[in-house]
Structure 1
Amino acid sequence: MTFVQLIDCKTSRFDEMNRLMDTWAEQTKGKRAATHNVIGKDRSDATHFIEIVEFPSYEEAMRNSNLPETDKIFREMVALCDEMPTFTDLEVVRDEQMYAANIRRFYETLATEGELPPLNSLMAENYHDHDPANEQDTIGLDAMRREIDMWRGGFDFSFAVDDQIAQGDRVCTRWTWSGTHKGDFLGIPPTGRQVTMTGSTIFRCNEDGKIAEGWWQYDRLGLMSQLGALDELET
């Protein structure tokens, strides 16, 4: 689970502290685990600063703290402060930006060449999928893998994310899917045709960012037409 640390300090020597942080970043390049760092200044007190540091997990944050470079910089930082800084440790329970990023990774993973990578880091074990093209909802990660494998067996494909909106624990993505029909799909033998399809999906995410539920809408009829499955009906 994503971990955030707030460092609250007062200093009249911020320029020196800023240079110190640059030195630490250079010395720990390739070692530090922090994924995001923001420093804010109090509008009502020019000596009051709050640093927000994000890590992939608490364990990664502790590994970062145990670096010898971090210990040295901390002692030098304390010397530049007007008083002892305080630290607040936070487990992230909601991060809309993380949800959207994980869902982009999901679309990229679906189109991975070769064997489908594990989905455990992206989807919940009890994932619930709503697809109007299916007679029944797909429930469970194993069942979802089988659904994905059906599409991957029929096509080499990729997704282009056209638009994405996150609100609360839900992310809506408008996408364009492009593929080459390489294998049997719903009883249609491979045609080698280049096909495209547009659609949108709303995903609900858990607190840890994993996808827990999905609602799909896409132009499956248009896809079947491109595959020639509707030709006999039109004649």
Structure 2
Amino acid sequence: MSTDCKEVVRRFNIEVIQNGSETEFHSLMAPHFVNHSAPQGMPNGPESMWHTFQNVLRPALSNLAVTIHDQIAEGDKVTTRKTISGVHTGTLLGVPATGRDVSIGAIDIVRIQDGKYAEHWGVNTLSNVLAALSKD
């Protein structure tokens, strides 16, 4: 089961985050999905994840890529250490394009149920990246 769970998370990272596939997104999200990392007061269902990738990262970063460094699975949970990278060619959370290479480090824990994302917890370095880009 752990190997299957890791493959679900790998598919999400490559097909959804990197490639922007809405079809894969819907096929990999449980209807009762909860994003425990959604900002307070914001939606925490599937739409919270799609919004982050399609409306925040994708318009701001060209050549978007996900590099998975480590995955550890136990039971129905997968922890992934990854880097989301691209070129800052659009406005990113209010910071105008700089043309600089951007790398956002992230560590996620995802609970998989019936081959789909059921819950997500995560931390990332986006605030550090924004602070560095704002210094230009």
TM-score range, shorter chain: 0.7 to 0.9
The higher radius of gyration belongs to 1
Unmatched runs of 5 consecutive residues or more in structure 1 = 1-94
State the identity %: 31
Q: Cα offset for 1:196?
A: 1.1
Structure 1, 217-226 or 190-199: larger mean CA deviation: 217-226
In structure 2, the residue matched to 1:34 is none
SS of structure 2 residue aligned to 1:121 = helix
1:144 aligned onto 2:32: no
Q: Cα offset for 1:137?
A: 5.5
SS of structure 1 residue aligned to 2:103 = strand
In structure 2, the residue matched to 1:105 is 11
Structure 2 length normalisation: TM-score? 0.86
In structure 1, the residue matched to 2:110 is 203
Task: Give the direction of change, closer, same or farther, for the CA distance of 1:100–1:138 in structure 2 (3 Å limit).
Answer: farther
Q: Is the 8 A contact 2:85 2:102 kept in 1?
A: yes
Q: Is the 8 A contact 2:104 2:124 kept in 1?
A: yes
In structure 2, C-alpha distance between the alignment counterparts of 1:136 and 1:148, rounded to whole Å: 19
In structure 2, the residue matched to 1:61 is none
Count of residues in Structure 1 that have an aligned counterpart in Structure 2: 132
Task: Give the direction of change, closer, same or farther, for the CA distance of 1:154–1:129 in structure 2 (3 Å limit).
Answer: same
Q: Is the 8 A contact 1:181 1:191 kept in 2?
A: yes
Question: Highest relative contact order (Cα 8 Å, sep 6+), 1 or 2?
Answer: 2
Structure 1 length normalisation: TM-score? 0.52
1:169 aligned onto 2:91: no
Residue in structure 1 matching 2:97, options 169, 190, 202: 190
